[in-house]
Structure formats: C-alpha cells, structure tokens
Structure 1
Amino acid sequence: MLDSSLAQEIAEIDGVVLDSDVTFADLTTLHIGGKPRGAVRCQTIPALVSAIKLLDDASLPLLIVGGGSNLVVADGDLDVVAVIIEADDVSINLSDGLLTAEAGAVWDDVVQLSVEASLGGIECLSGIPGSAGATPVQNVGAYGTEVSDVLTRVQLLDRATYDVEWVEASALELSYRYSNLKFTNRAVVLAVELQLLTDGLSAPLRFGELGRRLAISEAEDHPRRPVGIVRDTVLELRRAKGMVVDPSDHDTWSAGSFFTNPIVTPEVADAVFDTVGEPTMPRFPAGEGKEKLSAAWLIERAGFKKGHPGAGAKASLSTKHTLALTNRGEADAADLVALAKEIRNGVFASFGVSLVPEPVWIGISIDD
C-alpha cells in the first residue's frame, strides 16, 4: 500500500484517481499478474507528470501502463506502483495530415480515426493492441509498415529533469522493434505526432500475405490501395490469427507476437536452410551482413504446432498462430514462463537460433 500521506497528496492532483482493487491480471491482455503496491489512474497529461514526479521523489518503483499488451507480470504482491495512462485525446489536421495522440489513446482507435479521415500511413497497423504511447517505444510494425515510417515527434517527460518537450523521431534510434526508450526508465512518452498521407490511399504496400489478399501483383511499382479496404483486410487477417483482442476468445489472451523475428548472419540462415531444406524458407535482408528469419516458421519447424501442448494446458500456443503464447483462462505467470522456455529452448536445440521475447517482464524472467 502507498503511504497514507503520499496517497493523499497524489489523490489531490486534479485528474488522478487512486485504484486500490486493480491487479495486473485486470490491466494486461495476458490476464496474468498480481497486485501492485498501488495504482494511480491519470486522466490528463499534467496529472500524469505530477503523479510520476511525486512517486519518483518518494523513490517508489513504478510501472507505466497503457494498454497492457506487452507485459508479462509476476503473480502475488508486487512492490511497484502502476501508473495507468488514461489521457486519450486525438487531434487531426485534415489539411496537412498531422495526427497527434495522447499516450493513453487506444492504438486501434487512433488507426480507425485516421482511416475515417481518409489519411494513409498506419492502416497496416490496424488491430494491434495497446496504447499510442507504447508504439514508438518498440517501434511497432506489421505487414511491411512500422510506426517509424510516419512518426515525426514524441512528447517526452524526462525522468531526470522532469522537463516536458517534443523530441524529433530521429533522436530515438528507431529500428526493428527497438528504440532507445525501450527497457529504460529515462523518459515517459506523453504523446506522439504522426505525418500521414492525405489522398485517401495507403502507404506503399509490400507483396506478401496482405498483398496477395489485395490482389497486388509483384510487378506493381509501389502499389497503394484505399485506406479503408486495407484496414478491413488487415483486421480480417489478424482476426484469423487471434491477433485482435476479444475477451471471449482465449487465443487473444496473449501479448501478441511473443518473440521477435531473429536477425542473424547469412551463415546462420544457410545453416537453418540446410537443416530444414525447404526452398520456401522465409529469409529477408536486414541490413549489411544480416538477414531476418521468421520466428513463427522456426517454432513450427522445431515441432511446436498451433495449440501446443494441447487441450487442458493452462498456457499454450494459440490455436490460430504459433507466435502467440496464450492464457487459456486459468494460467499464472509460472505457466507462461514454462511454455516460453520450452519454445525458446526447442528452437535453439533445433537450429542454434536464440529467440528473444518481445514483451517487458515485471518481477519475473524467462531466465528464472
């Protein structure tokens, strides 16, 4: 529990509500996790800044929570204060295509608003769970699009100085599923600014699963389609994989894609190919002297099928997609960690490739 005098001081901040009942199982899409030392709901950006400063001044460990879609949290009582961002204003300038979203805005709501405004650029990121503030931290991406493609600036709270300023996206060192904010506590994202396209068409699409569904030919040069059609198609594809949150569907009780696609040397990729011998093995250029492999493909070829380890398991791979580790309704953190270890160790034993988990771990680790 929070010290009573500190709790009273925080509760007096305009736009703050203290929540003594919530657990991380309530706050995360995995529906796993114990009870925080305290929970502070911040409905405005000024309230968020004030609450963080008070908690930092009291030297209390805190965890910023948006949509909770990228968290694996231990069970039991946790010595951490959950700071829940509920500031969710979104503004759109139709003339120049600039979209600004506060950190607590539901990301898919932001995408939907952009599509309804006939703005292009993030339609391929439809259906991704979580909040707008989380998107630059791990540079979320799907179907050939990343947030870094459209991100112009982020508004940050510096945890050392408590200054609030807009920072250019170029300062974040954005790359595949990475920014220099990730796994650090140096700053908190308060808002994001995106530069979108104003002609009602999507960003250029890549040939692949989405491209085939949209009848795009490999011969097309920088193909684009109406944003609404692309969004609907992406949502259809993601729902088929259990990647659109649905409380009634345990295949969506996950942290999304649990492992990042491994970046390896061509020699390692060649060794994997030699082991499996499939001409259609997915491998893509990933910068000088590097290639990107498919984590889902490696998991399947290591012998782990959809739904592994089978009916009755508390935690299993999704029955729709091997890259999602899911809570079947009664799993705890230990169940999920055991499954994650089994998958990681099995892929390494088969191919010598180490899969890296994408979520943030709180109070627990895959290496425990």
Structure 2
Amino acid sequence: MTQIEPIRLAELTTLQTGAAPARMVEAMTADDLVAALRDVWASGDEWFVLGGGSNLFAGDAPFDGTVVRIRTNGIEELPSPHPGRIRLRAQAGHDWDALVAYAVERGYAGIEAMSGIPGTVGAAPVQNVGAYGQEIQETLVEVELLDEHSGEVVTTPAADLGLGFRTSVLKHHYGSVAERRAVILSVTLDLAVTGDAGRVVRGEQLRRALGLTNDDPVPLAWVRERILSTRAAKGMLFDPADPDTHGAGSFFQNAIVPESVARTLPPECPRWPVTPDLDTITVIPLDAYYGLVPKPEAPPSDVKVSAAWLIEHAGIRKGFRLPRSRAGVSTKHALALTNRGGATAGEIAELARFIQSRVHSEFGLLLQPEPVLVDVEL
C-alpha cells in the first residue's frame, strides 16, 4: 500500500469529472489492497475504491475521504471439475477486456460477447456486466472478498451475490447503499474450452448482433472482432480523440417493468422478456399435505424495455445538448451521456435530469442511472 498525491478524478474516469480527493492510496497487490482497506475502515474515514473509472460519476467538489486505487493484476489458470472446461482466476484490478482477450486467444468461451466492456475485473460482478445477451453470472464461479463488517477475506460463491440485471448485493445503487459492504479481491470464471473449432452461438440477441443465420460454429476471435467493431461504431470504446466516448457507457439502465406496464408502451418499443425463476421451493405443512403437490404457477414475467428508444422517442436525439452546456448525448448512441470537453459534473447531471423528466413525462417511467454516483444528485 502506498499513499500517493491525490489525482483529480477527472483524470482517472472516462466521464472526466471530479476534483482530487482529500486522500488517495494505491494497491498494487492483493495484500496491499487488504491492508489499505483495513486501515481506512479502522480510521472511520469515508472511502470508495477506484478501478478503471469507467462506471463512476464524481461530483465537482473534492471528495472528503480516501480513494483506494486498485492496481492489482494477474490471471491464473485452474482445473475445472467439469469436463471440457477451465477456470480462470483474475485479480480485481486486471483490465476486463484484457481478460476477455486472454480467454479468446486460448479458445476459452463464455465471455467473448463482453469484449470491449471498459473497467476492471473486480467491478464486473458488482453490476453483473453483460452485453448482447451474455452476462458474467453465466460463467462466474466465486469471488474472493474482503468483508468490511468482519475485516476477513472470504470466498463467496456466485449464488450468494444476488446477481440480477446489472446488480448484485455489492452494488451501491443511486439513492441506497449496498446490501453487503465488501470489496472484491479476485474473480473466478468457468469457461468452455473450444480451441480453434469455435462455438455455435445460441443466444438470440448475440446472433442478431453478429448477423448469424445458421448454426455453424464460429471462431471466438471472429465474435470478438465483430463485437468490438459494433461497440466502436456506437462510441462505446474509449478514444481520447473522440468526445463521443468520454462517458460512462450506458448512462441509464434499460427499464425492467411488469408486463402490464410494458403493454401501455407503443408496440414498436423494443422489449425483451425477463425469464421468471420457476425453480422455486414449495413448502407444504404436514398437516395440510394430502398426497398432491399443487402445480406451480408461473408468476407474471417482467419485461426489459429499451431505454435508448424511450429517450429518442421522448424527443432527445443523438447529439442533443442543453443551451450553453458542455455535456451532450453521444452522436452515436442515445443512451450515452458524454463530456464534450471541460463539462462539469453539474452540467452532466443537469442533462441527465432533463432526460429523466422528458421520458417520465412521455412514458411514465423514471430511468435510473447505471454509474455509481459520488457526491452527485440527480
């Protein structure tokens, strides 16, 4: 652990906002990270951890606390108990896309559709990252955590993380605190070994993105190349020379609504069913059991609707800006709010609130921000 001269958060985040915090420490190893966090927790100081800075929206005032920069690195290959599979354990500070590239290069399948997602490995399970129908929860085995309550390092299976659509028990949602206060030290994934043979793509959303019309196996490298090209066309790959990429990716989450609400939206609004959990446990008291188990009734499924469509059809077009503002909607993707050059957090927040109000007025839905907000109000 090394205490360093605080760096402006605008220099460490892709949204490019935020002053230098009061204190900043840097952890290059897992042991450094554990020691740094234990010291901060013992001091009672306000704190947050910073990885790649791609999912953080920091306010203009200096953060009066300690920022812990996670700089840990490394990938370890482990045997899988399942035939034809392998496990990768990556340190929390490892670049996520570098992990995807590592897996694709070696013919390990399961995360190739998440190519180009910015940020670090440790941040991926926190918000259950995903793209084109593929999510980390499909391959996540376990995470190594440092628990704030106990101060102990524990290995937690994926099933205990409460993974859902862009959420987990570790995520700090806007307006609330995380259910479990802990920091990820490492992540273990279980991937299929396909080698050069490639893989048959099954997911409808991914097949559509790739333009596939048959069930022939396709090389993982080809999938990765197509996904990176698609993300680049939408301004979702950070480029210092392109203001369209100076954002936090999708600023708003796609809305998850009941079927009854989805039916009130225009039929052309893109939507995808959220599969309900049918593997539920039915408990029948012995004194009420007569030899028959009632047939389980499937609860009404929720529906995911496109936030980008809602934004555009509320009158907010790509490239939109408020008067005299240096914040704007990306010219390539309506879901990305961007810093067009020197924008303050206040300007970006003003734009976000305007978009929320327009969508709410038009469709009755309040879009929720996806990034973690530090000293910012919407």
TM-score with structure 2 length normalisation? 0.87
AA at the equivalent of 2:185: L
Match of 2:270 in 1: 282
AA at the equivalent of 1:285: P
Match of 2:359 in 1: 347
CA distance in 1, matches of 2:217, 2:311: 32
CA distance in 1, matches of 2:200, 2:317: 34
CA distance in 2, matches of 1:202, 1:86: 33
CA distance in 2, matches of 1:313, 1:240: 25
2:111 is the alignment partner of 1:122: yes
Alignment of 1:168-187 (within 5 A): 168-183=157-172, 184=178, 186-187=181-182
CA distance in 1, matches of 2:186, 2:201: 26
AA at the equivalent of 2:360: F
2:121 is the alignment partner of 1:109: no
Contact 1:107-1:132 within 8 A present in 2 as well: yes
CA distance in 2, matches of 1:186, 1:299: 33
Match of 1:31 in 2: 16
Match of 2:210 in 1: 214
Alignment of 1:207-246 (within 5 A): 207-208=204-205, 210-212=206-208, 214-217=210-213, 220=215, 224-246=217-239
Question: Among 349, 360, 368, which residue is 2:372 paired with?
Answer: 360
Q: Which moved more, 1:66-75 or 1:88-97?
A: 88-97
Question: Among 268, 272, 278, which residue is 2:265 paired with?
Answer: 272
Match of 1:295 in 2: 307
Match of 2:76 in 1: 91
Deviation at 1:237, TM superposition (A): 0.2
Contact 1:205-1:224 within 8 A present in 2 as well: no
The 3-state SS of whatever aligns with 1:197 is: strand
Q: Deviations over 1:183-205 (max 9, x none)?
A: 12611000000001101335744
Match of 2:340 in 1: 328
Instruction: Tell me: CA distance 1:311–1:236, structure 2 relative to 1, closer, same or farther (3 Å).
Output: farther
Percentage of pairs with the same residue: 41
AA at the equivalent of 1:79: D
Contact 1:35-1:75 within 8 A present in 2 as well: no
Question: Among 57, 60, 76, which residue is 2:45 paired with?
Answer: 60
Instruction: Tell me: CA distance 1:211–1:159, structure 2 relative to 1, closer, same or farther (3 Å).
Output: same
The 3-state SS of whatever aligns with 2:37 is: helix
Question: Among 317, 320, 332, which residue is 2:329 paired with?
Answer: 317
CA distance in 2, matches of 1:228, 1:242: 21
The number of equivalent residue pairs is 342
Q: Deviations over 1:155-189 (max 9, x none)?
A: 00011111112111001111111111111261100
Match of 1:4 in 2: none
AA at the equivalent of 1:191: S
CA distance in 2, matches of 1:205, 1:26: 40
Contact 2:132-2:209 within 8 A present in 1 as well: no
Contact 1:133-1:190 within 8 A present in 2 as well: yes
Deviation at 1:339, TM superposition (A): 0.5
Contact 2:61-2:375 within 8 A present in 1 as well: no
Q: Deviations over 1:27-71 (max 9, x none)?
A: 111011111111101000001101111111111111111111111
Instruction: Tell me: CA distance 1:202–1:123, structure 2 relative to 1, closer, same or farther (3 Å).
Output: farther
AA at the equivalent of 1:333: A
AA at the equivalent of 2:193: T
Deviation at 1:310, TM superposition (A): 7.2
Match of 1:152 in 2: 141
Match of 2:192 in 1: 197
CA distance in 1, matches of 2:200, 2:29: 32
TM-score with structure 1 length normalisation? 0.89
Deviation at 1:92, TM superposition (A): 2.6
Deviation at 1:21, TM superposition (A): 3.9
CA distance in 2, matches of 1:211, 1:80: 46
Q: Which moved more, 1:297-306 or 1:179-188?
A: 179-188
CA distance in 1, matches of 2:304, 2:93: 32
The 3-state SS of whatever aligns with 2:251 is: coil
AA at the equivalent of 1:265: P
Structure 2: any 5+ residue segments left out of the alignment?
A: 173-177, 277-298
CA distance in 1, matches of 2:217, 2:250: 26
